[in-house]
Structure 1
């Protein structure tokens, strides 16, 4: 039985501006780097057997700060952990989308990834690493919307996985043939609790 701890990357200017990030390679902002340093300090108190990260810059930067604190390099970067592919709307805000494509832009084919595709790659990742590293503590740095969709699929619960906060910590464990939360969207490291 594997235990998987997911960390959402630190905040970016794109998050603040409500700009669709998708597969863009935008960096953490100053606040995001501070958040990542705090979650890194929190995670340093645990022994991690396997460390995996999304390959997108904001996740890589978060994982680099964590790596320095926990004394363990990222074992591998996995493209399946990337955020939802936003297609044509990547790097735009709602007002920019309306200006470019009109108020009904959602009715157009914007070449965005489907929820089903995102959930499938998330479940594929979880099933593979939990089998490959059975009995290990796995640390994963990823993205909020992707993680939320993955959790909805794993838990078979549409009420879960909504609006996960930057650098939140979520731990899941498979027991009796089903995934369960041990910790969910926890950001106590940001408040000093």
Structure 2
């Protein structure tokens, strides 16, 4: 199974460095432009199906890509972003002002990584069973993808931020994941 994982295009909250979580934020103009550039890149290969989180920023990204590839977007809410709890809509400065510099150590209702990974694995296993030997695209979110990649490919450096509209292509054979490309944004350099 070959899967292209895509982080959604940029939003105004990305630029303001606000935690989005399950807040339903739309793409900004740059996000739509970058999704179009990614769609052009993906047109160079064969993709059979595209799944997306139901949150607007992911769904809009997926729709731009699907229209270019002549595919239909299948929404799967297991692909939604990790819930941000009380930090949704806040910046780092606002979090420090409200909860102090150790806010990450507090229980603020943020969805735990193991729960995110469990729903990611469940969805991907189901896709594998339904679309074996197909090339699948998944449009999701930064924290969701970060948690999944960390579990599937622990040998990679997971400190680097996943860029908006980045493409990561993984292959699965038996229970082993390998990566072709990771966090690639070469399409953003195209004119």
Give the TM-score category using the shorter length: over 0.9
Structure 1 residues 106 and 160 mapped into 2: Cα distance closer, same or farther (>3 Å)? closer
Number of the residue aligned with 1:31: 30
Task: Find the counterpart in structure 2 of residue 108 from structure 1.
Answer: 106
SS at match of 2:119: helix
Q: 1:40 maps to which residue?
A: 39
User: Relative to structure 2, which stretch is displaced further, 102-111 or 48-57?
Assistant: 102-111
- Give the match for residue 143 of structure 1: 141
3-state SS of paired residue (1:22): coil
- For the Cα contact (< 8 Å) 1:149–1:161, is it kept in 2? no
Match of 2:124 in 1: 126
Report what 2:92 is aligned to: 94
Q: CA deviation at 1:161?
A: 7.2
Structure-to-structure mapping, 1:15-30, within 5 angstroms: 15-30=14-29
Unaligned stretches of 5+ residues in structure 2: none
Name the SS for the 2:23 alignment partner. coil
Asked whether the equivalents of residues 49 and 72 of structure 2 are also in contact (C-alpha less than 8 Å), the reply is no
Q: 168, 171, 190: which is aligned to 1:170?
A: 168
Separation in 1, partners of 2:188, 2:43: 15
CA drift of 1:88 comes to 0.8
Size of the aligned set, in residue pairs, is 191
Query: 2:55·2:80 contact (CA, 8 Å) conserved in 1?
Result: yes
**Conservation of the 8 A alpha-carbon contact between 2:37 and 2:190:** no
How many angstroms apart in 2 are the aligned matches of 1:50 and 1:146? 20
Q: What is the aligned-residue RMSD (CA, Å)?
A: 1.8
Deviates more, 1:167-176 or 1:13-22: 167-176
Structure 1 match to 2:6: 7
1:172 partner SS: strand
